[in-house]
């Protein structure tokens, strides 16, 4: 249990009006406080889109998801509609439902990624202490108030610079960063990168706002096939207004190249002012 490939598998393809429908099982291991991780759910949708229409374009290159309601671990259905199959990319939309209710709706672009170096880049990898000098995030983080089962399948070591919140003195810089590996030793791929791009804890902890920050909307681009080795992931917030926070994440592979980027809007609870 817990292996990413298995946890995101889809089966039993069925033709339905406007596309294909698949069965999936939302895995209790890929959860935060008992709720399925957003990047993990999008990876299930991405897997279904590839099975449905990825014959010519085998890699997820872009995904945007709206999070409508959190599904529970257990059986779910995934509906995929191909919007356009072009020469260099395929566009699809996908929906995860549980008990007939839509939980996640996504737009997915498939293409063909390589390990090639960029033609041009201004994406310097995040400066981090060595992996062994960073803080291994436990599944039962002190002060989190809930178990993060995800931390048993993702081995995350956070830069201590962004962890002052754990001592009650958040830096309020709005940045968290760290190293990530899949705990079973498998390499990162375009689908598992979606998990890496939404790390725990949210940046709001660093702003002195502890607690669950559910994703409202999440968009990611995968730029190349990652080289083996740990990822560096940095997440930064820019603005918290009206109970919503943006978080922008970048991930670099073992060769220090940008492999993926994401932007999300998450709900946060801010203390009343005045």
Which positions touch a copy of itself (CB under 8 A)? 61-62, 64-66, 68-69, 83-84, 88-89, 91, 93, 102, 105-107, 109, 111-114, 116-123, 172-174, 207, 216-217, 219, 221, 223-224, 236-244, 246, 248, 250, 258, 261, 263, 265, 267, 270, 273
Which CB atom, from 149 or from 177, has the smaller least distance to a copy of itself? 177
Residue tagged 């979606």 (tokens): 194
Contacts of 58 (CB under 8 A, 6+ apart): 50, 110, 112
Shortest Å distance, C-beta 182 to a copy of itself: 24
Shortest Å distance, C-beta 133 to a copy of itself: 26
Q: Which residues are paired to 266 by β-bridges?
A: 215, 245
Which CB atom, from 5 or from 84, has the smaller least distance to a copy of itself? 84
CB 202, CB 238: distance < 8 Å: no
Measure CA 151 to chain center: 13
**Residue 218 to residues 182, 195, 202, Cα–Cα distance (Å):** 21, 11, 13
Shortest Å distance, C-beta 98 to a copy of itself: 13
Which CB atom, from 29 or from 98, has the smaller least distance to a copy of itself? 98
153 φ, ψ (degrees, to nearest 5): -110, -20
Which CB atom, from 132 or from 273, has the smaller least distance to a copy of itself? 273
CB 247, CB 264: distance < 8 Å: yes
Shortest Å distance, C-beta 67 to a copy of itself: 8
CB 71, CB 41: distance < 8 Å: yes
Which CB atom, from 9 or from 227, has the smaller least distance to a copy of itself? 227
Which CB atom, from 174 or from 178, has the smaller least distance to a copy of itself? 174
Per-residue burial over 18-27, b = 16 or more CB atoms within 10 Å of its CB, e = otherwise? ebbbbebbbb
Token couple for 188: 């990162």
Measure CA 104 to chain center: 13
Which CB atom, from 5 or from 121, has the smaller least distance to a copy of itself? 121
Shortest Å distance, C-beta 83 to a copy of itself: 5
Q: What is the dihedral of CA 214, 218, 224, 228, to 10 degrees?
A: 10
Residue tagged 């992996």 (tokens): 131
Which CB atom, from 90 or from 156, has the smaller least distance to a copy of itself? 90
**Residue 78 to residues 52, 93, 100, Cα–Cα distance (Å):** 11, 10, 11
Shortest Å distance, C-beta 46 to a copy of itself: 14
Shortest Å distance, C-beta 175 to a copy of itself: 9
Shortest Å distance, C-beta 153 to a copy of itself: 27
């Amino acid at each position: 249990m817990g292996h990413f490939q298995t946890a995101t598998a889809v089966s039993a393809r069925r033709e339905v009006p406007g596309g294909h429908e698949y069965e999936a099982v939302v895995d209790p291991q890929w959860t935060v406080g008992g709720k399925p991780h957003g990047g993990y759910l999008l990876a299930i949708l991405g897997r279904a889109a590839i099975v449905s229409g990825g014959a010519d374009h085998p890699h997820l290159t872009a995904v945007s998801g709206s999070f409508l309601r959190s599904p529970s671990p257990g059986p779910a259905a995934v509906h995929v509609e191909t919007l356009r199959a072009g020469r260099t990319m395929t566009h699809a939309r996908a929906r995860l439902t549980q008990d007939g209710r839509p939980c996640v709706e996504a737009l997915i672009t498939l293409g063909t990624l390589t390990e090639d170096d960029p033609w041009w880049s201004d994406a310097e990898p995040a400066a981090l202490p060595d992996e062994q000098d960073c803080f291994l995030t436990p599944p039962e983080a002190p002060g989190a108030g809930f178990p993060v089962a995800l931390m048993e399948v993702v081995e995350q070591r956070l830069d201590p610079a962004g962890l002052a919140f754990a001592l009650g003195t958040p830096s309020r810089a709005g940045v968290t960063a760290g190293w990530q590996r899949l705990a079973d030793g498998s390499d990162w791929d375009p689908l598992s990168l979606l998990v890496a791009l939404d790390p725990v804890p949210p940046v709001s902890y660093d702003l002195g706002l502890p607690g669950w920050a559910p994703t409202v909307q999440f968009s990611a681009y995968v730029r190349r096939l990652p080289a083996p080795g740990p990822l560096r992931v940095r997440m930064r917030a820019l603005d918290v207004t009206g109970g919503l926070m943006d978080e922008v994440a970048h991930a670099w592979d073992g060769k220090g190249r940008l492999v993926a980027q994401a932007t999300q809007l998450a709900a946060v609870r801010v203390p009343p002012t005045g």
